[in-house]
Chain A
Amino acid sequence: MSNSKSPLIRINEVSKRFRYWNNSPKSFKQILINLIKGKFNLGNKATLTVLDGVSFDIYPGEFVGIMGRNGAGKSTLLKLISGIYMPTAGKIEVNAPVAPLIELGAGFHYELSGYENIFLNAAILGFGQKATQAALPEILAFAELGDKIYMPVKNYSSGMVIRLGFAIATHLTAPILLIDEVLAVGDVGFQNKCLKKIHDLHKSGRTIILITHVPEAVRNHCSRCIVIDNHVKVYDGPAAQGVDIYMSAVGA
């Protein structure tokens, strides 16, 4: 990347391995039985590598698409950037607040009204009261729920829930937005509206990382594409070429 600005996100030789306990005694009962049998073992440790030495930098204002087959390690990468997981090896530097959009409406309480859930969800996403109040009119306008916003969320259709979740997540302003396949839900009209909203956010200076399986989304919106396959980065560069590499990897 020929960019003179300093990177917002710096991923340096990052690996993630999950530890698994085979036959692990996840209970007192099992430990007791093992003790009676005269052995005290805590199960065999096995590790599963999900990411192996991945490095890249992301600069302010980029719109990066991340593609890869199922199980390639894309979501884990996003969780590492958002700080849900810690890397097993390597270093991750994130120099601005991040809004992870891994699940729309995370933590919605279905007995509460949509209005109450806006504040709840915003708090869960890490925003304070002032930021939420400031974004409230736009959230209400984007969600297009009208008076239904005061109804309990359990009476919403799934489309309405998604609309509200997306409205909250995209109108609270964090400089970096991480989006994980949330576009796979909702009807085509809503998907286009979301993509347009994401596009607008990018235009207004946000940095966006989008995980998706939709080639058109990457081709039309992203400035750059990273392809992850078999836990390593196999491509990093212009979007159109990246999509082709992804398409040949999935065998389509």
Chain B
Amino acid sequence: MQALISLQEFGLNLLRPCGVDLFCVGKKFLVFNLVSRNLKAKYHRSVLGLFWTLLNPLATTLIFYFVFKMVLNVKVPHYLAFIISGMLPWSFFSQTIMEGMESIVGNHGLISKVPIQIQIFPFVGTVTNFITLVLALPIVIGTAILTDVNLGSSILLFPLYLSLLFLFTYCSATILAVLYVLLRDLRHVLGIVLQLWFYATPILYHESMIPKQYHWILYLNPIAFLFVDIHAILVQGTYPDLHHLPVTCAWVLLAICLTLLIHRFIGEDLVEQI
């Protein structure tokens, strides 16, 4: 019994690292309502709501497929499944940090009138977009099956990689949201950074196509191995290289630590700075 209680406490401490309610566990009702508000507002009055959200990454997938497969003749097997399994997680990541960056400033009206934890806004944005990503997964898996990918038991590991992506995205969104309060032209900088980031991540190409002398770039890119591993699971149907996991986890951990630091140091009078 005692052990059970201490285990529960340990779990709670994991959810509230350093006393910061990072995952808004104390505000479940509020998170639920804000997420359902977002989803309703996005998909209200339009049965094709989800389709519109996914139209952009799907169209981009087809364009890239045409350019890289038909024109440039890139030799990656199951190339359509390859691009789509990278494009959807990427569009979750880039869209969430773009929107998340403006989430604190954008909700200034609320934050200055109601006592509310500021991390709730990037959190709710990340959860909303994550639900969209999960709802779109049948498209990814369907494409894989239709293009004759042999999906193996490694797909059971997929949720782990999705969770790591969620954590990294949420932390990045929070960090950017706080920085955006202080530096308002971050939006333009982020646009350029995201473009560079997209091409620096193995989404359109296989990691083995990168010349050996540039391989170190993968280690500097927090999400590179996530995409390599997602491709392994969804396109090659094999188990991902487990040596990648510590690198990804280290980046995620660093992002969590930075987020906690930011909460510790500027949390208090951030509201007045907006």
A contacts, CB < 8 Å to B: 18-19, 26-29, 79, 82-86, 100, 102-103, 106-107, 109, 111-112, 116, 119-120, 123-129, 132
Is A120 in contact with B33, judged by CB distance below 8 angstroms? yes
A29 to B187, CA, bound (A): 12
Which A residues touch B41, using CB under 8 A?
Answer: 109, 111-112
A106 to B40, CA, bound (A): 18
The smallest beta-carbon distance between A17 and chain B, in angstroms, is 10
Which A residues touch B30, using CB under 8 A?
Answer: 123-124, 126
Q: A109-B37, A126-B115 are in contact. Are A27 and B184 (CB under 8 A)?
A: yes
Q: A28-B183, A129-B29 are in contact. Are A85 and B272 (CB under 8 A)?
A: yes
Is B113 in contact with A106, judged by CB distance below 8 angstroms? yes
Chain A: CB-nearest residue to B181: A26
The smallest beta-carbon distance between B74 and chain A, in angstroms, is 36
Which A residues touch B269, using CB under 8 A?
Answer: 19, 85-86
A33 to B110, CA, bound (A): 34
The smallest beta-carbon distance between A229 and chain B, in angstroms, is 23
Is A120 in contact with B37, judged by CB distance below 8 angstroms? yes
| A123 partner, pick from B33, B112, B113, beta carbons under 8 A | B33
Interfacial residues of chain B within 24-38, with CB under 8 A of chain A in the complex? 27, 29-30, 32-34, 37
B contacts, CB < 8 Å to A: 27, 29-30, 32-34, 37, 40-41, 44, 109-116, 182-186, 189, 268-269, 271-272
Is B271 in contact with A29, judged by CB distance below 8 angstroms? no
Which B residues touch A106, using CB under 8 A?
Answer: 109-110, 113-114
Which B residues touch A102, using CB under 8 A?
Answer: 113-114
The smallest beta-carbon distance between A51 and chain B, in angstroms, is 13
Which B residues touch A83, using CB under 8 A?
Answer: 115
Is A27 in contact with B113, judged by CB distance below 8 angstroms? no
Interface hub of B44, B114, B182, B186 (most chain A Cβ within 10 A): B114
A112 to B112, CA, bound (A): 23
Main secondary structure of the interface of B (DSSP, over half): helix
The smallest beta-carbon distance between A187 and chain B, in angstroms, is 23
Chain A: CB-nearest residue to B27: A123
A102 to B27, CA, bound (A): 21
**Number of A-B residue pairs with CB-CB distance less than 8 Å in the complex they form:** 77
A29 to B186, CA, bound (A): 10
Which A residues touch B182, using CB under 8 A?
Answer: 26
The smallest beta-carbon distance between A226 and chain B, in angstroms, is 22
The smallest beta-carbon distance between B133 and chain A, in angstroms, is 23
Interface hub of A119, A124, A127 (most chain B Cβ within 10 A): A124
Is A85 in contact with B271, judged by CB distance below 8 angstroms? yes
Is B185 in contact with A124, judged by CB distance below 8 angstroms? no
A153 to B203, CA, bound (A): 43
A126 to B110, CA, bound (A): 13
A214 to B185, CA, bound (A): 43
Is A107 in contact with B40, judged by CB distance below 8 angstroms? no
Chain B: CB-nearest residue to A119: B33
Which B residues touch A84, using CB under 8 A?
Answer: 111-115, 271
Known: A107-B110, A112-B40, A123-B30. 9 other contacts (CB 8 A): A84-B112, A103-B109, A111-B40, A112-B44, A124-B33, A125-B114, A126-B30, A126-B115, A132-B29
| A124 partner, pick from B112, B114, B186, B271, beta carbons under 8 A | B114
The smallest beta-carbon distance between B102 and chain A, in angstroms, is 15
> Can you report 5 residue pairs joining A to B where beta carbons are below 8 Å apart?
A19-B269, A79-B112, A106-B110, A109-B37, A124-B114
A126 to B27, CA, bound (A): 8
The smallest beta-carbon distance between B29 and chain A, in angstroms, is 5
Chain A: CB-nearest residue to B110: A107
Which A residues touch B29, using CB under 8 A?
Answer: 123, 127-129, 132
Q: A26-B182, A27-B184, A85-B272 are in contact. Are A124 and B110 (CB under 8 A)?
A: yes
Which A residues touch B111, using CB under 8 A?
Answer: 84
A106 to B33, CA, bound (A): 14
Q: A116-B40, A123-B30 are in contact. Are A103 and B271 (CB under 8 A)?
A: no
The smallest beta-carbon distance between A104 and chain B, in angstroms, is 10
Which A residues touch B44, using CB under 8 A?
Answer: 111-112
Which B residues touch A128, using CB under 8 A?
Answer: 29
Which B residues touch A29, using CB under 8 A?
Answer: 185
A123 to B268, CA, bound (A): 22
| A18 partner, pick from B34, B114, B186, B272, beta carbons under 8 A | B272
Which B residues touch A127, using CB under 8 A?
Answer: 29
Is A82 in contact with B183, judged by CB distance below 8 angstroms? no
A241 to B37, CA, bound (A): 48
A103 to B108, CA, bound (A): 13
